[in-house]
């Protein structure tokens, strides 16, 4: 084997190990691959950086923006609510409704966003129907994954294999090319889940069954927050006057969260008699709300809205000479404004937060959010935030600026943001939902009619979403999953390196020598199986980038049309059914359904085998070999 082959294999092996172990972020690994290929001379700088100008990467970026607009306008939520109402109280009907709704939405939006959107509704439906949520949430996750096979833009692997065919000058896939096989797989998957799969699913009480993450008001009630909320009034004699919030020691010394500061809009008029200065105004005083930050200077008459244990509040008020007043249950709205909100975040497997307490993490300083409560599966009482080490499945109730809450989505290794906080914010651009729908429909028409290419149509739709005010440009940037884009752009050159060094040809030759004598169907089945196995431990993007060129070369070696092989790779790469960490959607429902690792193996492996049989039988009919 040539020296260049060994170098390329070494880089690939190192990347796979880092992907599986998650010792480094996947985007850092992908960038490392690019740099390594350049430094070793395997690829030129132009070849190594070509992934960043690849049309598939640009298309995916545009689709992230379009998906963000549908969330920002409330369009996705409205569609989901309308369709899911047909579920009724029957287990079978609920499973059908959830899986079909998830599949429809994920055929245009991201599968993770789809599950996050429908999870609260699924929990409510399970509660109303007296069903264990564990009977519905794996079907919800699997439905979203199957929906990716319905359209060209349903999932990243579809776009990658279509782009590879286009680069090779071979007839590529259109918008609905995936729909026939996608429908076959979806129907098969739904039938399996309402029959055999239904029996395989466990019956367990959800870790958040009593709190289905439906809205902030229910979260407040679930965590019994009103009893821990207080007003602290800064008296004239208080030593806090003129000090910064960080110097107060509220968080470090007293374990108190400062949620908001309410300051007089106009200074208090001087009083000649000190006894006329009441600790709390008997008449309404107009105040402005100020977001807390460490450098904010505290002034006389400020009212601090704080959360903490009564004993800690008493000690802080005594130390700093503050007036204290408890907040009544009717004043829960103090936690929620247009700028500030609350949300729940789930700790996924391999989160770096596991084993450490909220205090150890300095959560407030690092993420600029307050942790108001902790919920743990199987425990009715709320663990102590100060002393309880966090672990997988824990749910944190966080409070702070909406933008900081939404920023947790970008730390996917450590957090899964439950529900859609945009909905709690009241879908700020709700009036633009109709415009967003028209733009999406227009994009689909352009793609289906082939008037313009997929990349041009998606970029045009993304631009129109911004120009029509469905979301701002800043919101568009925030809606893009930059980690995913870097991963794709960084791994695409690896395919080029595998081709240039002859490794793709060698792997394809191995496939054909081993199974070619049996027939093309055997090779197709083997490619499907290898891809499905890889995607249980790697991302579907990395899996597709690695396997698709081998599949293409195998088809060429067998002198058959490559479309069936390429579509098999795209489909198999999305069948992340066998592990809770194989897909973010599986991770998202794991805590809510109180699932174990074995539950995914028990239900997922038969699903993968069934999808493989259907694909191998149907694909040659749709794309003759």
User: Can you give the CATH number for the domain in which 320 is found?
Assistant: 3.30.70.1450
State the DSSP string of 218-286: HHHHHTTGGGGEEEEEE-TT-TTTT-BTGGGTHHHHH--EEEEEEEESSPPPP-SSGGG--SS-SS---
pLDDT at 438: 94
CA distance 528 to 294: 54
Q: What average pLDDT is seen over the chain?
A: 82
Tokens of 301: 């008459």
Does 228 share its domain with 322? Answer: yes
- The helix (H) or strand (E) run that includes residue 341 is strand 340-346
pLDDT at residue 409 above 80? no
List the single range of 34-43, 142-151, 261-270, 615-624 with lowest mean pLDDT: 261-270
C-alpha distances out from residue 47 to 12, 184, 289, 440, 543, Å: 17, 39, 53, 34, 20
Q: SS in 3 state form for 479-507? A: HCCHHHHHHHHHHHHHHHHHHHCCHHHHH
CA distance 302 to 380: 37
CA distance 505 to 553: 6
pLDDT at residue 365 above 80? no
Number of other residues whose CB lies within 10 A of the CB of residue 83: 17
pLDDT at 195: 93
**To which residue do tokens 């695409």 refer?**
492
Q: What is the mean pLDDT of residues 95-113?
A: 88
Higher confidence at residue 338 or residue 209?
338
Check residue 399 and report its DSSP letter. E
Report whether 113 contacts 538 (CB < 8 A). no
Q: How confident is the model at residue 227 (pLDDT cuts 50, 70, 90)?
A: low
List the single range of 18-32, 88-102, 259-273 with lowest mean pLDDT: 259-273
Higher confidence at residue 545 or residue 377?
545
Residue where one domain finishes, among candidates 335, 350, 382: 335
pLDDT at residue 213 above 50? no
Report whether 395 contacts 366 (CB < 8 A). no
Residue where one domain finishes, among candidates 302, 319, 335: 335
Q: Quick check: helix, strand or coil at residue 398?
A: strand
In a domain? residue 352 = yes
pLDDT at 87: 60
pLDDT at residue 212 above 50? no
Indicate yes or no: pTM above 0.85.
no
Does 313 share its domain with 349? Answer: no
Does 258 share its domain with 288? Answer: yes
Range of the domain at 381: 340-417
Does 310 share its domain with 232? Answer: yes
- The helix (H) or strand (E) run that includes residue 304 is strand 303-307
Higher confidence at residue 512 or residue 379?
512
Structural domain tally of the chain?
A: 2
In a domain? residue 512 = no
Nearest of 488, 573, 491 to residue 533 by alpha carbon: 573
List the single range of 191-195, 409-413, 504-508, 530-534 with lowest mean pLDDT: 409-413
CA distance 241 to 296: 11
In a domain? residue 206 = no
In a domain? residue 298 = yes
pLDDT at residue 80 above 80? no
Q: Quick check: helix, strand or coil at residue 303?
A: strand
Q: What is the mean pLDDT of residues 471-492?
A: 85
In a domain? residue 266 = yes
pLDDT at residue 382 above 50? yes
In a domain? residue 294 = yes
Q: Quick check: helix, strand or coil at residue 570?
A: helix
pLDDT at 278: 47
Specify the length of the chain in residues: 625
CA distance 399 to 334: 11
CA distance 297 to 246: 9
In a domain? residue 259 = yes
Q: How confident is the model at residue 516 (pLDDT cuts 50, 70, 90)?
A: low
Does 279 share its domain with 320? Answer: yes
In a domain? residue 359 = yes
CA distance 581 to 255: 34
Does 384 share its domain with 403? Answer: yes
pLDDT at residue 472 above 80? yes
pLDDT at 88: 62
Q: What is the mean pLDDT of residues 304-308?
A: 84
pLDDT at 211: 42
Kindly report, residue by residue over 395-405, the tens digit of the pLDDT.
Answer: 888 888 877 88
């Amino acid at each position: 084997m040539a020296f260049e082959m060994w170098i390329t294999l070494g880089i690939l092996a190192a990347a796979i190990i880092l992907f599986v172990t998650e010792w480094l972020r996947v985007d850092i690994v992908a960038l490392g691959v690019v740099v390594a290929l350049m430094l070793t001379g395997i690829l030129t700088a132009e070849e190594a950086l070509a992934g960043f100008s690849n049309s598939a990467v640009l298309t995916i970026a545009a689709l992230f923006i379009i998906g963000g607009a549908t969330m920002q306008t409330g369009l996705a939520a409205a569609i989901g609510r309308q369709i899911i109402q047909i579920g009724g109280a029957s287990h079978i009907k609920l499973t059908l409704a959830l899986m079909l709704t998830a599949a429809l939405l994920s055929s245009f939006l991201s599968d993770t966003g789809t599950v996050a959107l429908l999870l609260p509704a699924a929990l409510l439906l399970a509660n109303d129907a007296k069903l264990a949520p564990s009977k519905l949430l794996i079907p919800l996750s699997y439905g979203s994954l199957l929906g990716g096979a319905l359209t060209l833009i349903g999932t990243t692997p579809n776009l990658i294999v279509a782009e590879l065919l286009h680069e090779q000058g071979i007839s590529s896939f259109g918008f609905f090319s995936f729909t026939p096989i996608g429908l076959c797989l979806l129907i098969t998957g739904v039938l399996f889940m309402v029959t055999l799969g239904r029996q395989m699913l466990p019956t367990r009480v959800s870790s958040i069954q009593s709190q289905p993450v439906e809205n902030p008001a229910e979260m407040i009630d679930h965590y019994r927050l009103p009893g821990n909320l207080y007003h602290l009034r800064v008296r004239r004699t208080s030593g806090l006057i003129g000090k910064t919030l960080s110097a107060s020691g509220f968080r470090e010394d007293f374990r108190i969260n400062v949620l908001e500061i309410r300051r007089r809009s106009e200074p208090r008029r001087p009083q000649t008699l000190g006894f006329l200065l009441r600790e709390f105004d008997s008449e309404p005083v107009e105040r402005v709300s100020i977001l807390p930050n460490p450098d904010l200077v505290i002034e006389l008459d400020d009212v601090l809205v704080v959360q903490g244990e009564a004993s800690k509040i008493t000690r802080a008020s005594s130390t700093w000479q503050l007036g204290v007043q408890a907040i009544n249950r009717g004043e829960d709205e103090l936690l929620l404004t247009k700028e500030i909100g609350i949300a729940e975040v789930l700790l996924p497997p391999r989160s770096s937060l596991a084993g450490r307490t909220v205090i150890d993490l300095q959560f407030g300083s690092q993420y600029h959010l307050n942790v108001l409560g902790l919920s743990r599966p199987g425990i009715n009482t709320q663990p102590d935030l100060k002393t309880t080490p966090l672990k997988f499945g824990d749910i944190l109730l966080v409070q702070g600026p909406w933008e900081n809450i939404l920023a947790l989505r970008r730390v996917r290794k450590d957090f899964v943001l439950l529900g859609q906080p945009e909905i709690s914010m009241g879908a700020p651009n709700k009036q633009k939902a109709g415009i967003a729908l028209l733009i999406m429909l227009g994009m689909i028409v352009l793609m289906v009619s082939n008037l313009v290419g997929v990349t041009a149509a998606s970029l045009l739709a993304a631009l129109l979403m911004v120009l029509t005010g469905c979301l701002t440009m800043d919101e568009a940037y925030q809606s893009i999953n930059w980690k995913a884009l870097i991963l794709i752009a960084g791994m695409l050159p690896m395919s080029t390196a595998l081709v240039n060094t002859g490794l793709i040809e060698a792997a394809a030759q191995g496939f054909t020598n081993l199974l070619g004598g049996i027939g093309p169907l055997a090779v197709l089945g083997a490619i499907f199986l290898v891809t499905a196995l890889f995607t249980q431990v790697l991302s579907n993007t990395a899996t597709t980038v690695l396997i698709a060129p081998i599949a293409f070369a195998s088809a060429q070696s067998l002198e058959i049309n490559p479309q069936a092989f390429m579509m098999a790779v795209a489909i198999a790469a999305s069948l992340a059914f066998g592990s809770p960490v194989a897909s973010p959607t599986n991770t998202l429902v794991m805590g809510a359904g109180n699932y174990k690792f074995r539950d995914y193996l028990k239900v997922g492996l038969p699903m993968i085998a069934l999808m493989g049989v259907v694909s191998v039988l149907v694909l040659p009919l749709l794309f003759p070999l």
